[in-house]
Amino acid sequence: MDRNSIQKNGGEVAGLLASLRAVAEPSRLRILALCAQGELTVSELVDVLGQSQPRVSRHLKVLAEAGLLERLREGTWVFYRLTRRGRDADVARGLLALAPGRDPILELDAVRLKAILDRRAAAAANYFRRNALRWGAVRALHADEGEVEAALRNLLPADTESLLDIGTGTGRMLEVLARYVQHAQGIDQSTEMLAVARENIARARLSNCGVRQADMYSLPFPANSFDAVTVHQVLHFAEHPSHVIAEAARVLRPGGRLLVADLAPHQLDHLRGEHEHRRLGFSNDEVSGWFTAAGLMPGTPRALPGDPLTVVVWSADRPHVETQSHPLRKVF
């Protein structure tokens, strides 16, 4: 073994030892397990662990410096999550796999975390309930909606037969795209939003459209159900936007297209409190990474500047397959 190989291996061993030292403390192992469930803030971890903020911050610093956690700043908020790629990600997952499956402390942490996530979901649901009738005005905070809608229409494949709109809200995407498809289905979790959507669809006489209540993280459709899927101004409300993308890809047929319109990164922190935004926009690299992880081929993003927010339209195609064991099943 040459000197370079020895130095490289020595560096890898040192990195592994640093990771082991980082988790060799009960609270830090608990934090690692919690951050494996999603992106969490310091205050949320404080609530779960029942420890002071300075102490939790010190633990987070150690884990981040060891490469086991990623630190993401958005406005005045900082999120922590399990490292996604590389040797450190493998080490983090391996260490968590060694944790006891029925440990009472970790189980209690999971219960407390669920309570926090439930409060988030309730706050978002209350926001949608309050704003169902003026949703169009809320969306006016973004770039010009007419321009966004035109970009989505232009990216919709000409041979699209079936369309799914995830987080349909008032059904606006169904109104915009209905004439270009044979059948369109919208899903939303909010019954208030769906009531408005049904009224709008009926008023526009869109007989080829329907809406139903469903969870965007667990769509009630089998794989290969739709020729196109749209996700319009939804991801910044989502707790796990990458999971939304993965689920959208699952129901997309080979050769189908996913269209996502959402906000570019920004610093308008007040949107968290006033409009329940979970994320302050997304970078092209982040969205492209989600597409690739879901087995999709990313297209070229298009930025549509607004005042003050910019909307980006991202597209991705599911590759064709040579053979299919079953004919395409459409679900409407």
Answer yes or no: is pLDDT of 9 > 60: no
Answer yes or no: is pLDDT of 328 > 60: no
Residue at which a domain ends, from 99, 129, 164: 99
The verdict on residue 309 lying in a domain is yes
The answer on 249 and 146 residing in a single domain is yes
Query: Which domain covers residue 142, as residue numbers?
Result: 137-317
pLDDT band for position 140 (50/70/90)? low
Residue 240 DSSP one-character state: -
Strands (E), the chain: 40-41, 69-74, 77-82, 162-166, 183-188, 209-213, 226-232, 252-263, 297-298, 302-304, 311-317
DSSP string covering 252-278, please? EEEEEEEEEEEEPP---THHHHHH--S
pLDDT band for position 136 (50/70/90)? low
Domain count, the chain: 2
pLDDT band for position 70 (50/70/90)? confident
The verdict on residue 106 lying in a domain is no
The verdict on residue 109 lying in a domain is no
Q: What is the pTM assigned to this prediction?
A: 0.65
Mean pLDDT of 292-314: 94
The verdict on residue 32 lying in a domain is yes
The answer on 145 and 209 residing in a single domain is yes
Task: Give per-residue pLDDT as tens, 232-275.
Answer: 999 998 989 999 999 999 999 999 999 999 999 988 888 887 77
The verdict on residue 126 lying in a domain is no
Coil, strand, or helix at residue 227? Answer: strand
Whichever domain contains 53, its CATH number is: 1.10.10.10
Whichever domain contains 148, its CATH number is: 3.40.50.150
The verdict on residue 110 lying in a domain is no
Mean pLDDT of 224-229: 97
pLDDT band for position 7 (50/70/90)? very low
